[in-house]
Amino acid sequence: MQFDAALAAQETFGRAETELGSDWDTAVELENTFSSNAGSTARGAYEGLLSIASRYPNAYSFQAFCIFITWQQVTEETIAHHFQTGLRLCETFLASADGKHPADVEQITELYGSFRDGLGLDEEDEIQVEFRKDTPKGGD
């Protein structure tokens, strides 16, 4: 990646204050817990942040923040669930660029590829390669 997801998360979180209204204070508490802990404590805060995000689908900076921290979860605990969550969040975010910060769109597009790669969605195995070679092409 050409950027630091942790720094991008900090930047987008700062822009999210106006998007969350009365949930901002809760988000700040959860983010502090997430940032200063590891393991199950951090995972609990992460899940809480995702829960807030689900209630604010048009809070684009907060949505971007959640994508960036999902990448942090991937690096902390490399499991398919986090890659799948990241993929789903990216697809929702990238469905439209309207009203979104251009840098967020660019960075999340890059992260989308990383989440896909982590799940092996863009890789062909040996059997697929051989099948493609053996499949007749137009005019064969």
Helix (H, G, I), strand (E, B) or coil at 56: coil
The more confident residue out of 53 and 134 is 53
Distance CA 85, CA 71 (A): 10
Residue 139: alpha-carbon gap to chain centroid: 43
20-29, 35-44, 73-82, 118-127: segment of lowest average pLDDT: 118-127
> Could you count the other beta carbons within 10 Å of the beta carbon of residue 89?
23
Return contacts of 43-47, CB within 8 angstroms, 24+ apart.
43/73, 43/77, 46/70, 46/73
What are the DSSP calls for 38-96, one per residue?
Answer: -HHHHHHHHHHHHHHHHH-TT-HHHHHHHHHHHHHHHHHS--HHHHHHHHHHHHHHHT-
- CA-to-CA separations, 87 to 66, 84, 100, 133, in angstroms, rounded: 12, 5, 18, 30
- Give the pTM: 0.85
Distance CA 75, CA 82 (A): 9
All structural domains of the chain with their residue ranges? 5-134
pLDDT band at 78 (very low <50, low <70, confident <90, very high): confident
Contact predicate 85/77, CB 8 Å: no
- What the block records as the tokens of 16 is 């999210």
Residue 140 has what pLDDT?
47
Amino acid present at 101 = H
Amino acid present at 24 = W
Distance CA 38, CA 31 (A): 12
The predicted-structure confidence for 93-116, as pLDDT tens digits, reads as follows 999 888 899 999 999 999 999 999
